[in-house]
Amino acid sequence: MRIVVLGCGYVGIELGRQLVDRGHDVVGVRRSTGGVDAIEHAGFDGVRGDLTDPDDVADLPDADALVFAASSGGRGADAAREVYVDGLQTALGEYATREDAPRRIVYTSSTGVFGDHDGDWVDETTPIGPTTAKTRVLASAEAVALAADRLYGIDGTVARFAGLYGPDRYRLSRYVDGPVTEGYLNMVHRDDAAGAVRYLLETDRGRGDVVHVADDEPVAKWTFADWLADECGESAPEKVTTSERLADGDLSAAAERRIRAEKRVDNARLRDLGYEFRFPTFREGYERAVDDYRHGDA
Does the residue 11 lie in any domain?
A: yes
Residue 74 reports pLDDT greater than 90: no
pLDDT band at 71 (very low <50, low <70, confident <90, very high): confident
14-33 pLDDT, tens digit each: 999 999 999 999 999 999 99
User: 286 to each of 25, 179, 212, how far by Cα in Å?
Assistant: 31, 20, 21
181 domain residue, yes or no: no
Helices (H) and strands (E) in the chain, counts: 15, 15
Instruction: Name the band, by pLDDT with cuts 50, 70 and 90, for residue 247.
Output: confident
Res 19: pLDDT: 98
Rounded to the nearest 10 degrees, what angle do helices 190-203 and 10-21 cross at? 50
Per-residue confidence (pLDDT) for residue 9, from 0 to 100: 96
3-state secondary structure of 291: helix
* 104-145 per-position pLDDT tens digit: 999 999 999 998 899 999 999 999 999 888 999 999 999 999
Q: How far is CA 168 from the centre of its chain?
A: 15
Name the region of 70 (left: φ>0; alpha: ψ -120 to 50; beta: rest).
beta
- Exposed, middle or buried by CB within 10 Å (0-12, 13-18, 19+), for 32? exposed
| Residue range(s) defining the domain that contains residue 102 | 2-162+188-215+264-279
Is residue 297 scored above 70 in pLDDT? no
What value does the mean pLDDT take over residues 75-91?
Answer: 91
Looking at the domain assignment, is residue 290 inside a domain?
no
Distance CA 223, CA 24 (A): 41
**180 part of a folded domain:** no
User: How far apart (Å, rounded) are the C-alpha atoms in residues 271 and 273?
Assistant: 5
What was the pLDDT predicted at 252?
74
Residue 176 located in a structural domain: no
Q: What is the pLDDT of residue 268?
A: 98
CATH number at residue 85: 3.40.50.720
* 258 part of a folded domain: no
The Cα–Cα gap between 12 and 70 comes to: 9
pLDDT of residue 73 exceeding 80, the answer is no
Q: What is the mean pLDDT of the chain?
A: 94
Domain-embedded: residue 157: yes
Which amino acid is located at 255 in the chain? Answer: A
Stretch 73-83: mean pLDDT, rounded?
Answer: 83
Which band of pLDDT confidence, cut at 50, 70 and 90, is reported for residue 259? confident
CA distances from 44 to 49, 63, 126, 276 (A): 16, 15, 38, 25
- Domains identified in the chain, total number: 1
Bridge partners for 240 per DSSP: 181
Q: Which residues contact 136 (CB under 8 A, 6 or more apart)?
A: 77, 130
pLDDT value of position 254: 66
Residue 298: pLDDT above 70? Answer: no
The verdict on residue 220 lying in a domain is no
